[in-house]
Amino acid sequence: SQTIHQWPATLVQPVGSPLSLECTVEGTSNPNLYWYRQAAGRGLQLLFYSVGIGQISSEVPQNLSASRPQDRQFILSSKKLLLSDSGFYLCAWSVRRVNYGYTFGSGTRLTVV
Amino acid sequence: SQKIEQNSEALNIQEGKTATLTCNYTNYSPAYLQWYRQDPGRGPVFLLLIRENEKEKRKERLKVTFDTTLKQSLFHITASQPADSATYLCALVSGGYNKLIFGAGTRLAVHP
């Protein structure tokens, strides 16, 4: 069966520090991969998506970047965190069709202090 | 611009009643609409998908309707239970690559 792993679960980082969040998927090949952010009490905002190794599309200009070094690995990074980067970060995968739901990871709660 | 609206106020109902949640959208012509459940501090969980040519979809105690003329989807939970308490998110495919745009969600509280 397919599983998605996301870590760490919680993270407290000072302003100006770097960030690396990792997401891996098991049990499937060639998944579409997505990074979302959810601010407190708000909806999910799509940050990045990828349809293949090395292919990244950004949805909103921001202080973050993403990479997909392997088929089932998706990384969210920042060189210098801002207070506004705080939030709940979610990784998700889907098959390469438009009529299937997403499977989300358990999320990372990031607090920038 | 494209917009998805869900009632931001929490919905409080009594156990055993039917909960009905609303999702309205503008400036979209989605071929698919999805509903997810999210518990506090957890990632959303996919519940149901409905296509534009399907008026209604059922799964156990869940029912979803999709009215492309009204640009609205209704999500029903029949015989609701306290375990159904959660935030329910509506999502639409936007553009290619199965990109989903989510509403802010409606929190449902089912009271014994």
pLDDT attached to residue B82: 97
Least confident of A57-66, B16-25, B83-92, B102-111: A57-66
pLDDT attached to residue A59: 86
Most distant CA pair in chain A, distance? 40
For chains A and B, CB pairs below 8 A equal: 62
Asked if A98's CB is within 8 angstroms of B42's CB, the reply is no
**Cβ contacts of A32 on chain B, cutoff 8 Å:** 97-98
Strand-pair category, B106-111 with B11-14: parallel
Return the number of other C-beta atoms located less than 10 Å from residue B60's C-beta.
9
DSSP letter assigned to residue A63: S
Asked if B41's CB is within 8 angstroms of A109's CB, the reply is yes
Distances (CA, A) of A15 to A26, A39, A80: 33, 17, 7
The rounded mean pLDDT for chain B is: 93
β-sheet bridge partners, residue A90: A36
How far B112 CA lies from chain A's nearest CA (Å)? 25
Enclosing H/E stretch for A17: none
Asked if A49's CB is within 8 angstroms of B44's CB, the reply is no
- What is the per-residue pLDDT across A39-97, written as a single tens digit (0 to 9) for each? 877 789 999 999 999 999 998 878 899 999 999 999 999 999 999 999 999 999 998 87
Asked if A107's CB is within 8 angstroms of B43's CB, the reply is yes
- What is the per-residue pLDDT across B20-70, written as a single tens digit (0 to 9) for each? 999 999 988 788 899 999 999 999 999 999 998 898 999 999 999 999 999
Asked if A101's CB is within 8 angstroms of B34's CB, the reply is yes
Residue in chain B nearest A32 by alpha carbon: B97
CB within 8 Å of B67: residues ≥ 6 apart: B55, B73
Q: Which residues of chain B approach chain A closer than 8 Å at the C-beta? A: 4, 31-32, 34, 36, 41-47, 49, 51, 89, 93, 96-105
pLDDT attached to residue A98: 65
